[in-house]
Structure 1
């Protein structure tokens, strides 16, 4: 009976991770619509599923209330940021949106708390592997057998999106998938061929999505994985190695600064990063109008009826986020929110190094890997503090998993 309960709980966790990945449901409900198509979908079913996940998560946390309280005390800055998001309803430009989004953020963060408190890092990676294996298989099926859904037709018909609504969604998830299988293949002797095969398929899907920024992020993160391994060496070797790497990195930085077209051309981008660099100054101007507390969590991007209308008119297109996680956080919670995030982030990051230093397995590098991904992906995407997002949930779990 106990074994059945454990397996049932693991199945719940995998299905929840799949839901938080943003895969399948929205794509199917939209009928395979492109990014420029105006389609209204009935999201009541999705809300019911999330409500069930929230309820089960809370029950599981209550059943292990002592462990839950222990982990709740671990990260003051993380939970302060979540609380600030909820409190921002007091000054939000759209209180109803802030109420809805902060409710989702709290509940999805509780799932991150559950994930960290219930499973070891090794178990977390194995459960993520199941999640991504399902996504990989279904992405190939959707793209090959159901191209209306699996291929983004409004982008010249050659960009794969798999089970996501946009090719960048597939690209971003395949970065996390690649590193999950990379670490498992690197560390695991038994069935390592399966993990390396899944890693290879993740790379293939990443390339087929033509998400240039995701490819660059993956290459940097793989390099970071081996750099983190250096932290386990004796100090007499660490210091000169890091100095040499810093010198090489600085040289590469200056070279790319003087030859940006080569880098952008290699990843299929223009110098504006597909209009992002033209959008960011407009967003920064709006941030400085309410610099300290922002517009409230989710209170800025309200279409033509909100503050975003000025940006839409000036930019000549209609983005729903600033394509930068740090700017998105400033819009929502101001410089106060950004500061609270970075205080918590760097504390967790440094403790991640301490965990790597005191351990010997690749599993213990996972929190640093995901936090590095957060740093990189937030430069071009806005999922830093996004509710019901796998990226945020794994950040919560990683941050709590490294706390001593």
Structure 2
């Protein structure tokens, strides 16, 4: 009976991870429409499934209330808790209180799943469950592309691009970055049957390339380099210090080169210097941020179409972005500089504790939280997936941050 319950719980976790990944349901319910089509569709089924996930997550946390309470208290992630509370409290000054109420509820609920994921499973178990989730997504993406091209191929952006089980090709690209890293770490760490994980890594990279998501490909290359760079932290100080100095010199040299040759690099990658219009939006967004700099417009209170503050940006740029394509600017719009400050303080502390915990360990698995936090920082420069409810990136950030803090506190006390 116990094995059946464990199997059922793991099945629930996989379903939840699929939903947080944004796979399958959105693209099917939209009838295969792309993001450029702005098609409205009935998403009640998605809301029902998420409500089921929230309810089961809350029940599982309550059933293990002692462990949950111990985990939350020991992790002491005050900055993270404060940021989530601030999003809920922002209903009092929000420009769209109903939207803020709904979004803050889903943010709290998806964050609770991150708490459950971190407190219920070890890092090794988390990665194996993520690998199973992405394995299903990879298989379905190829099936959709071949057997259901109406859903698997995106045709509203010029030449057709593979999007698999996602609404947009960039959605496939960003998920395959996480998928590639998960399979890479497991393949690097596992001795027996590691070929399974290397096949998963290869297929993830293949899907990423077929999605033609340039930013995702660059992020993946940076993360793989970061994986090996982080292991330098485990070396003796005599070797580690000069190595870090040499790497810092190389990075600084590349930065100066990039500053003078950015247009050449973007052209070679098939991109324009405005990052597909992103840099045209950012000054306008910053101008709106300074209208309400400290507390913002409320969580989800800015982008309300022609009836909201976003109309100012839409009129000027001549198209209708639904977010600023930058996670840090999106956070400032929602919760002001106070919200951004709370995030950065919590992020920095978790990042430092991740390095401390990694130095005391010898497995590749302990690098995962640092890798995902690095990915969050990278992806947020061009996408608005930082403080996003029902998002795999945010849920995994909560889990990674709490796992790092829990590991750090346990090792300090021991």
> Same fold judged by TM-score > 0.5?
yes
> Equivalent residue for 1:33?
33
> Equivalent residue for 2:219?
217
Shift of 1:27: 0.3
Shift of 1:156: 2.5
Shift of 1:146: 1.2
> Equivalent residue for 1:337?
339
C-alpha distance in 1 between matches for 2:400 and 2:17 = 15
Which residue of the other structure, out of 310, 314, 318, is the alignment partner of 1:316?
318
Shift of 1:91: 0.2
> Equivalent residue for 2:4?
4
Shift of 1:263: 2.2
Are the equivalent residues in 2 in contact too, given 1:290–1:334 (CA < 8 A)? yes
C-alpha distance in 1 between matches for 2:250 and 2:371 = 21
> Equivalent residue for 2:330?
328
> Equivalent residue for 1:59?
59
C-alpha distance in 1 between matches for 2:169 and 2:36 = 13
> Equivalent residue for 1:245?
247
Shift of 1:261: 2.4
C-alpha distance in 2 between matches for 1:101 and 1:267 = 36
TM-score, L = length of structure 2: 0.97
Q: Could you tell which deviates more after superposition, 230-239 or 151-160?
A: 151-160
Shift of 1:267: 3.0
**3-state secondary structure, aligned to 1:49:** helix
Unaligned runs of 5+ in 2: 410-414
> Equivalent residue for 1:294?
296
Shift of 1:69: 0.9
Shift of 1:262: 3.1
Are the equivalent residues in 2 in contact too, given 1:325–1:385 (CA < 8 A)? yes
> Equivalent residue for 1:285?
287
Alignment pair present for 1:96 and 2:114: no
**3-state secondary structure, aligned to 1:307:** coil
> CA-to-partner distance for each residue in 1:285-313, whole Å, 9 max, x for gaps?
00000000000000000000000001000
C-alpha distance in 1 between matches for 2:404 and 2:142 = 35
**3-state secondary structure, aligned to 1:155:** coil
C-alpha distance in 1 between matches for 2:346 and 2:117 = 19
Q: Could you tell which deviates more after superposition, 332-341 or 148-157?
A: 148-157
**3-state secondary structure, aligned to 2:42:** coil
> Equivalent residue for 1:180?
182
5 Å-filtered alignment, 1:262-281, equals: 262-281=264-283
C-alpha distance in 2 between matches for 1:287 and 1:257 = 26
C-alpha distance in 2 between matches for 1:89 and 1:267 = 42
> Equivalent residue for 2:130?
128
> Equivalent residue for 1:207?
209
> Equivalent residue for 2:88?
86
C-alpha distance in 2 between matches for 1:208 and 1:76 = 41
Are the equivalent residues in 1 in contact too, given 2:140–2:165 (CA < 8 A)? yes
Shift of 1:37: 1.4
5 Å-filtered alignment, 1:367-386, equals: 367-386=369-388
Shift of 1:148: 1.1
> Equivalent residue for 2:117?
115
Shift of 1:127: 0.2
Are the equivalent residues in 2 in contact too, given 1:213–1:267 (CA < 8 A)? no
The total of aligned residue pairs comes to: 404
Shift of 1:269: 1.3
> CA-to-partner distance for each residue in 1:118-176, whole Å, 9 max, x for gaps?
00000000000000001100111111111111111012233111100011100100000
Are the equivalent residues in 1 in contact too, given 2:36–2:157 (CA < 8 A)? no
Are the equivalent residues in 2 in contact too, given 1:151–1:157 (CA < 8 A)? no
C-alpha distance in 2 between matches for 1:198 and 1:52 = 30
C-alpha distance in 2 between matches for 1:387 and 1:10 = 22
> CA-to-partner distance for each residue in 1:191-218, whole Å, 9 max, x for gaps?
2101001101100110111111111111
Shift of 1:382: 0.2
> Equivalent residue for 1:139?
141
Shift of 1:36: 2.1
Q: Could you tell which deviates more after superposition, 3-12 or 156-165?
A: 156-165
